Amino acid sequence: MKSVIKGNSAVAHGVRLARAQVIAAYPITPQTSIIEDLASFVAQGQLRATFVKVESEHSALAACIGAASAGARVFTATSAQGLALMHELIHWAAGARLPIVLADVNRAMAPGWSIWTDQNDTLSQRDTGWMQVYCASSQEVLDSVVQAYKVSEKVLLPTMIVLDAFFLSHTHEVVDIPEQELVDRFLPPLDLPLKLDIQRPGAFGNLVFPDRYMEFRYKIELAHREALEVWRQVDEEWGRLTGRSYGLVDSYKVEDADTVLLTAGTPASTARVAVDRLREEGLAVGVVRLRVFRPFPGADLARVLAGRRRVVVLDRNCSYGHHGIFHQETKSALYDLPERRRPQLVGVIAGLGGRDITAGDIAAILRKASHGELAPVSWWNVLQPEEELEAAVACK
């Protein structure tokens, strides 16, 4: 059924359709309406679940870990500070190999306080063993939540579904909400191979000496390698059922492009508008969107970018002291290409703390890039420190 709903509602509908059994969450802007919708689904009997209304995000994920260890399908959602507070347990969930699905509404980290979008909250969780999916539409959000349960439960890794604050979380779009019966066919009830069971009293999470710890970590790595293929299959299966699939990497007008913009999240949608505009000007430009970030589809990226003249990576994030995180990751994916097929790579950091990235911005970036006028790393549309100070003083 087609409905006009917010990105956050799309998350909640995905969780409802996946028949999550235990939800534990704590409110934080701009995530809050996800759990409000879920509380309402539970109260109205539209979702048979226990909602544990915890006193912090740390406890939210701890409750999910307990419930998942006992074999329940679980869900939580958060943003920024909440995700950072969970960090210890983010590692724990992956180390315990629990198929938890978490929605993070990308929000910039404090200080200063910001409720607006950027990707540093989720990218700070990059090395925890979680899978990460960056969405560009509300429809994709709903579909990805359902897909994530299927993939997570197959490879026993948790998944973070990521959507931009406000540009996605609070924007109303037309979303096709699938029938329960269709989702039930796609996603069978969870049956974990190992769980807390008084008939088989095992111990989970015991002390591990150096002779075995590494083997457990190696298994996480193997699961991630397997997950790349599983994401592909699950996405294709969903496509056969609904007509919608997204791939690990989503590209637009790249085949004949000379210069390609690579990004993640909603700026990729905006970039399509800019690309269409520049194509009219005769510039051969295209967009690649990184959707599944962990496991990292490096080979897919290399395939789609090989032979392009230039790639501009647009990062709504920064690894301070180095450069944008998708920029670094793309660079690592392209390194193995033969030199003649390897594009020139530049990085642009833009839109931190929710600053708008308009089609005009992206067109200007691509235009400069096409003319070879972009520095290897640049910050877009940013005041210099003395200009900023002047502007602040002028306010007083």
Partner 1 sequence: MSVELATYDPQNLHLPEEDLLRSGHLACPGCGAALGMRLALKALGPKTIVVIPACCWAVINGPYPFHALGVPVLQVAFETAAVSAAGIRAALAMQGRDDVAVLAWAGDGGTFDIGFQSLSGAVERNEDIIYVCYDNEAYMNTGIQRSSATPFGAWTTTTPEPNIKPEPKKNMVEILAEHRIPYAATASIAFPEDFVRKLQKARSIKGTKFIHLWISCPAGHKSEERLSVHIARLAVETGVFPLYEVEYGTKYTINHEPAFLDVTEYLKLQGRFRHLTPEDVDFIRRSVAWEWERLRAKAAMGSSLPPPPSPPRRLAMAVSWLGE
Task: List contacts with partner 1 (CB under 8 A).
Answer: 21-22, 24, 48-50, 52-56, 58-59, 62-72, 74, 88-89, 92, 196-198, 200-209, 212
The span from the CA of 129 to the CA of 132, in Å, is 9
* In the complex, minimum distance from the CB of residue 324 to partner 1, in angstroms, rounded to a whole number: 32
Q: How far apart are CA 106 and CA 101, in angstroms?
A: 15
Q: How far is the CB of 196 from partner 1 (least distance, A)?
A: 4
Q: How far is the CB of 26 from partner 1 (least distance, A)?
A: 10
> Which tokens belong to 51?
């909602």
Instruction: State in angstroms the smallest separation of the CB of 19 from partner 1.
Output: 10
Contact in structure between 245 and 239 (CB atoms under 8 Å): yes
Q: Which is nearer to partner 1, 25 or 262 (CB)?
A: 25
Q: How far is the CB of 300 from partner 1 (least distance, A)?
A: 35
- The number of angstroms, rounded, from the C-alpha of 230 to the middle of its chain's C-alpha atoms is 17
| Closest separation in Å from C-beta 189 to partner 1 | 11
> Which pair of tokens denotes residue 237?
């299966």
131-134 vs 101-106, strand pairing mode: unpaired
Minimum CB distance to partner 1 smaller for 190 or for 313: 190
Rounded distance between C-alpha atoms, residue 190 and residue 205, angstroms: 21
Comparing CB distances to partner 1, the nearer of 39 and 54 is 54
> 188 vs 385, which CB is nearer to partner 1?
188
Strands 259-263 and 285-290: parallel
Compare residues 197 and 336 and give the one whose CB is closer to partner 1: 197
The DSSP H or E segment spanning 4 is: strand 2-6
Q: How far, in Å, CA of 96 to CA of 109, rounded?
A: 27
Nearer to partner 1, 4 or 70 (CB): 70
Calpha distance 94→65 (Å, rounded): 10
